[in-house]
Chain A
Amino acid sequence: MSSLILPAVLNGLMMGAVYALIALGLTLIYGVLHIINFAHGSLLMLALYAAYFLFQHLGIDPYLAAVIVVPLFFGLGYALQRVVIAPMSAGSEQNVLLVTLALSLVIDNLALYFWTSNTRTVDVPYAYNTVEVFGAYLTLGRVIAFVAALVVAGLMWLFMTRTRTGAAIRAVAVEKRGAEIVGIDVGHTYAICFGLGTACVALAACLLLPTFYVTPQVGYTFVLVAFTTVVMGGMGSLPGALIAGLALGVIEALGGLFLGESLGQIGIFVAFILTLLFRPSGLLGRRPA
């Protein structure tokens, strides 16, 4: 068993990067704007299908597909916030919750209607390629996702701290009314933020597709872990989401190894509860003043 610990930790880190990638989009929407986006998993599923169909019908590699899918989903996210979520929720947080839940139901069932519940995968030539690290075989696709998670988290952090739009998003998150008074278009800023979050999840989908499958239910496989990652990392903290995602991947892998795969996932929730007990604002979250 001891010989399996290092490979398990390394593979857990790689899986954790996927969690972090999915959570980065959610942390923007959920953490910064306080919109509980229940449709996050459904948008992940939609992006997976988009990348899948680009591969199947046009032969575009899932990694290259990101060039098309990411801007497309930015637009979709922007439009969803402006046309569906904002008008239907009328500013109420409870209504936002219901609207995003309804959105997820509609998206999931439309996917089921049009594409059936059958499992689909892409057969890319590098699907079985691995990278050997300290004698452990790591899936190439997961290594790429790991590097991408670090890069995207860095870029997102730079965007939020160094650009005017990022400053506007932070301002809206802290004091919506005040931001309005100083001339920030709150509706547009919300939509930009939602678009960015959706673009992040679209990128995660493109990076996930070579190593995973697509079904209309695939979003549920990740969305609970993504919410856990956001809260555990500290709501709104992009580096926090990255660290929490990686940590949860390792915890899950070691839990599976020592407690059995069925019980192993309990480690995620134990870690989550312990974090909230000892650090209620999350790993890198700001403590209330």
Chain B
Amino acid sequence: MTHTINRRGLLKASGAVALTGALMSPAILRAQTAAIKVGVLEPLTGNLAYNGNQCVAGARFAAEAINAAGGIKSMGGAPIELVVVDAESRPEVAAAAVDTLVEAGVCAFTGSSASALGLASSQAAAKYDLAQVFSVGTAEAIVERGLPNVFRFTPGVEKISAVAMENLGLLNAAAGNPVKTAAIVHEDGPFGSQLSGIVEEALPQLGITVVEKIAHPTPHRDFNNIALRVKASEADILIPTNYLNEYTLMTRALQQQRVDLKAIYSVLGGAASNIKFVRENKDMAQYVIDCNHWYDPRKEQSKALAASVAAAGLDMTYDVMVAYAVIQVVADALERGASADRKAMIDALAASNFDGSIMPYGPTKFVNGDNVNSRPVNLQVRGDEIEVIFPEEYATAEPVFPRPSQG
């Protein structure tokens, strides 16, 4: 069979192509589903800028991964488009920023690195029926207000301190109960005071006597006195609850004053959750344990995230992990609800039983906005790395407890 192309034939063919193109174009346009806007409200400037920017990086990595995997399939493969707004580390700005997010047409938003910011933004978002999936917000007040638009994926302070004490009991028992006495050092603000109070109550139940409890202001310039008091108390273990600057000075003073402790076991803070601290204070950071938010490092998605973070030259912090995970939660809700409507999103999130995040959690179950299946893990600095040491099923290294003598 031979085909000859003459002028008439070419015209016919061209007309057919043009007609087909005209008829097909709406179908092509329909296939290019509009992006779904998801808000990311984080402090990009101000005191919490580092955490906020880390969170935004985590959210971007998550959105890129989801879009690369085909977007939201139940909505025609719609890609996720992040709308990033700066909370400026100020609660009033965080609240006002919700208007910007609503005007941008987001279906839900994540954020906001600190409880104070999240409390303000979620309150403002409630007026719009706009869901906020918290990245980091440990204050229990977040989930105690009964707001239907609040979803806290990560654990709060009560759960973290309870798990931290439970894990300490298990670590101590496994080592033959070498720790019998403890010193608590805490910052005297709401964070340190509340957490240290819970810890102080829990320790006697583990057979550990609190022999010293020292509060200090933030900022605090000199920890020599505190180190001397901890030394004089002859405590086996130190449980600090303070911010990183003071933590740095405190561990230096402990080292300089030759305070020989069987363990430094912090809750929500410390060397063992900050890779920068480990890099800059290698000797001092060794064997420090922390109970904090962290991902499951064994999952493939976690490994891919770690590679992306390293390629971008960023620090792998829990902010990145948590922000990544909450975008996964939002994407799953979009997938299940097949709608970007704000109320539909709240319903989809409330019914979420998502089991595919990078965090070491079971399926999501929000009860009054709090994910009852979230949990912190124990981390320990080992060489240049931060290893998960507890619980066993997520561990990347055996715990060293008690630590080798520093004397």
Binding site for B on A (CB under 8 A): 3-4, 7-8, 11, 15, 109, 112-113, 116-123, 127-128, 130, 137, 139, 211-213, 215, 217, 220-222, 252-253, 256-257, 260-262, 264-265
Contacts and interface: CB of A to CB of B under 8 A. Distances in A.
Contacts of B46: 112, 117
Given A8-B225, A217-B47, A262 B258 contact: no
Given A113-B45, A215-B245, A253 B257 contact: no
B221 A221 contact: yes
A211 B216 CA distance: 19
Contact of A262 (B216, B257, B282): B216
Contacts of A213: 245, 248-249
A264 B215 CA distance: 11
Nearest to B285: A123
Given A119-B277, A137-B256, 5 more contacts: A4-B229, A118-B50, A128-B255, A261-B214, A262-B188
A112 B45 contact: yes
Given A3-B232, A118-B50, A213-B248, A128 B256 contact: yes
A262 B215 contact: yes
B221 A123 contact: no
A109 B45 CA distance: 9
Of B244, B256, B283, chain A has the most CB atoms within 10 Å of the CB of: B256
Nearest to A212: B249
B219 interface: yes
A253 B222 CA distance: 8
Nearest to B89: A117
Nearest to B223: A261
A121 B281 contact: yes
5 contacts: A121-B277, A128-B283, A130-B257, A213-B249, A252-B222
A143 to B, nearest CB: 11
Interface centre among A122, A137, A211, A217 (most CB of B within 10 A): A137
Q: Which 8 A-B pairs have CB atoms at the shortest separation, nearest pair first?
A: A261-B216, A11-B224, A118-B50, A116-B50, A262-B188, A221-B219, A256-B225, A121-B280
B248 A260 contact: no
A142 to B, nearest CB: 9
Interface string B232-271: 1000000000001100110010011110000000000000
Interface residues of B, number: 38
A49 B178 CA distance: 43
Contacts of B228: 4, 7-8, 11
Interface in B256-315: 256-258, 276-277, 280-284
B373 interface: no
B105 to A, nearest CB: 29
A257 B225 contact: yes
B225 A265 contact: no
A235 B116 CA distance: 41
A25 B281 CA distance: 31
A123 B282 contact: yes
Nearest to A19: B221
Given A260-B215, A261-B226, A121 B248 contact: yes
A22 B221 CA distance: 14
B220 interface: yes
B53 interface: yes
B256 A117 contact: no
Contacts of A212: 249
Contact of B280 (A122, A260, A264, A265): A122
Contact of A117 (B48, B217, B225): B48
Contacts of A265: 217
